Structures are given as C-alpha cells and as structure tokens.
Amino acid sequence: MANARVIFHVDMNSFYASVEIANHPELRGKPLAIAGKAEERHGIVVTSSYEARKMGVRTTMTVREAKQKCPQLIVRHPDFSLYRRTSEQLFTMLKDYTNLVEKASIDEGYLDVSHWIHRRHPLNLANEIQSRIREELHLPCSIGIAPNKFLAKMASNRKKPMGITVIRKRDLPQTLWPLPIGKMHGVGPKTEEKFSLAGIKTIGDLAARNPDAIERKYGINGRRLHDFANGWDVRPVDPDSWDRYKSIGHSMTLSHDTVDLKMIYETMQQLAGKLEMKLKREHVASYELVVMIRYHDWKTITRHKSTMQPLRSRQEILNLAFSVFQANWSGEAVRLLGITLASFQAISESTKQLDLFSYQNDIQTEELVDLIDRINDQFGENTLLPATRLLNKKRSESPDSGC
C-alpha cells in the first residue's frame, strides 16, 4: 500500500467553447462553435459546445457546413489570451491539492494525489476538485482516476462532460481490452490502420501479442503502446515538464546586412530545420511562434503568431515564420533573424486538422514522413534524414553560423 499510486487526469470539456460561455453568460445553453480566422483556418470549426454537437456540428466542418446542420449556430473566433489566462487559473487551483501537477496541455493535466490515500477517498477528492472548477471557473471537466498516467487518461475519456471514472488494473479485461484499438490514447489513424492490417482490432488484441514481436515490427513506440495496453506505465507526474519546454528558439546573424528575400528565406529555412529536430526529439508540437527581426541599426522587433494547426515539420514552421516576417518587415536591411516556438503539446495529444488549401500536400508527404519516422524510431534518431536536412545541418555547423 505504501507504493500505491493514485493519479488523476483532469480534462476540461470543450475548453475553448466553455471558456467563451463562462465569460459571456448570454451564450449559455446556445449552440456555439469556435472557428479559426479565415486566413488561418479557412472557416473550419475547431471546437463546439455540447448544444452544437447535439445538432450535428463536428470539428473540421466548415462554418458553412456547420450552419447547414445548425442554422442558429453562433460562431466566434478563438481568443488565445483569454484561454491562456483561464488555463493559468486552473493549474493554480490544482496545485492547492498537490505539488505534483503536470500540465499536459492548455486544458488538461495530471495530478499525483497518492499522499491523500489515507485521508480522503479518491472519488470524494475528485468530486471536490470537479465541483470547485465548476463553481469558481464556471467550467466543466472530466476526471480519470487510475494507478498511472495512461490509465487515468483513458478513464477521463470515458464520460464527458462532467464525468468521473475509475480504472483499476484488475478491471482491464472488462473496461479497456474490448475497446477498438483506435480508441487507445496514443494510437492515431495511421497506427490504427497498421494494427488493423495485422489483425489487432482491439486494445486486448494488442495486449495479448508478444512484446518483442511488437517492438520488432513497430519500433520503440509499438513496445510502449503494448505496455500501456497491459496497464503498465511507470512515468512519474512531472511538474517541471511544461516549463522545461516553455519555449525553444534559434537565431542567426547573417553574413552581411541584407534586403535579399532569397537569403532571408534560406536563413529562416535553416532555423526552421533546427527547430523541427528539437520538436521531434521531444515528441511535441507547437501552437505558437515568435519571429525576431534585428535591423542594420540594431533596432529589434518581435512578432507573435498563434495557430490552431500544430507545428511540427520544418516546412510548417518556415511557412508561418516567413509569412509573419513578410507581414512585418519594414524593408530595411536585416542583420539577424530568430524563430521561437512555444505552447507545446505532446504529439500523441495534438491533432492536425486538414487545411483546405494544404491537405493535398499533406497527403503526398505523409507516406515519406511516416517511413522516415518509422526507421528513426526503430534504429535511432537521425538514422535517416532528408538530403536537404543534411545540407542545412552542415551549413548550420559552419563556423560563421549563428547560435
């Protein structure tokens, strides 16, 4: 009993929409959708209230499609500063219960409440936390209770909104193993398809397979998923994980002050390549980008951009960073350029919604990216790199490159 762990996963329900409703009570009980700005998300619904969902509104629908399903739908653009402030209030509240709070994303986190075992029943404690979030922040949440992070995450997904679910290891044959493999946390559409082709249709099918065979076929990540399917997860709740990766950035001083857009683009391409490597090493995606421009006279400006699309690849980072640069460049000679990424989320948590103007490119590159990732996962980071990345790597390692 001394080593028993009790882990909570607190998952806010329809966070963006719920925050809007909490701050605009006139929206309560009405169908609401949050949709990105036209130039960024092309009118795509990124989340919606439960009232809108009952009317058939779904994430990734265009606003036009959503309004066909629900003519009375209210559409709002995302207010990132409001969402971040609310998230900070949430996690400050959670730290009243334990110092072991790990922020997994803007709207979810893990709590290690093992020290409460002898004082409070976990269900009573979860009820108190859920009620307090509802009363003080006016927000709904679901809480999963389990002996480890993976099972707690799976538990919180079982009942939404305002659910509290317990999953114990002895309950796995009844609660977890019958679920389709696609319902497993960490299994995306591509992995689901691979498992399905191999006859792994349920979480129980994966749990029953030979772990060494799974690792040989699917790499380290496959072995990790096999462990999770059997309820094995020794990862600690890490309070420092979010701050550790609060931001990552690179800057580069150009060889000479320039107004040459080609040189500026190529410099930003090198910076984006470095950032891509860091994101992949940490298995995270970014939702915020900052571009720094230092001019010939040392005047420096920084410009911030939030995105509903997770940034992971060099090209995604480069496209957004260069567009921010072009929108804010004065036309004067540039001395130094920098790109910083922030607002990270684990790759297993992030979901890329297809951009209506780039989905064809996404589909074309998906198989190549998948192959490179699979080889690197199985044989080690940087086993296989695109030729352009190797070229940029050599350039970045040259003596006159920036830090």
Q: What is the domain partition of the chain in residue ranges?
A: 1-168, 177-229, 246-348
Section 145-153 average pLDDT? 97
Instruction: Sort residue 74 into left (φ over 0), alpha (ψ -120 to 50) or beta.
Output: beta
Highest mean pLDDT among 83-87, 343-347, 359-363: 83-87
Confidence of residue 26 (pLDDT cuts 50, 70, 90): very high
Highest mean pLDDT among 68-72, 285-289, 345-349: 68-72
What strand order describes the sheet that includes 32-35? Answer: 45-48, 32-35, 74-76
Check if the beta carbon of residue 122 is closer than 8 Å to that of residue 6. yes
Confidence of residue 37 (pLDDT cuts 50, 70, 90): low
pLDDT of residue 396: 36
In tens, the pLDDT along 254-275 reads 999 999 999 999 999 999 999 9
pLDDT of residue 77: 87
Which residue type, as a one-letter code, is found at position 30?
K
Check if the beta carbon of residue 75 is closer than 8 Å to that of residue 63. yes
| Average pLDDT in the chain | 85
Confidence of residue 357 (pLDDT cuts 50, 70, 90): very low
Cis peptide before 161 (omega within 30 of 0): yes
Residues carrying an active site annotation: 108
In tens, the pLDDT along 292-307 reads 999 999 999 999 998 8
Section 174-197 average pLDDT? 94
Q: What is the CATH number of domain 246-348?
A: 3.30.1490.100
11 carries a ligand binding annotation: yes
**DSSP 8-class letter at 202:** B
- In the chain, what is the straight-line distance between the N-terminal and C-terminal CA atoms, in Å? 50
In tens, the pLDDT along 299-332 reads 999 999 988 778 989 999 999 999 999 999 999 9
79 carries a ligand binding annotation: no
Confidence of residue 8 (pLDDT cuts 50, 70, 90): very high
- CA dist 248 and 281 (Å) reads 12
CATH topology of domain 1-168: Alpha-Beta Plaits (3.30.70)
In tens, the pLDDT along 109-131 reads 999 999 998 889 999 999 999 99
Cβ atoms within 10 Å of 157's Cβ, excluding its own = 17
Angle between helix axes 80-94 and 15-23 (nearest 10 degrees) is 100
Homologous superfamily assigned to 177-229: 5' to 3' exonuclease, C-terminal subdomain (1.10.150.20)
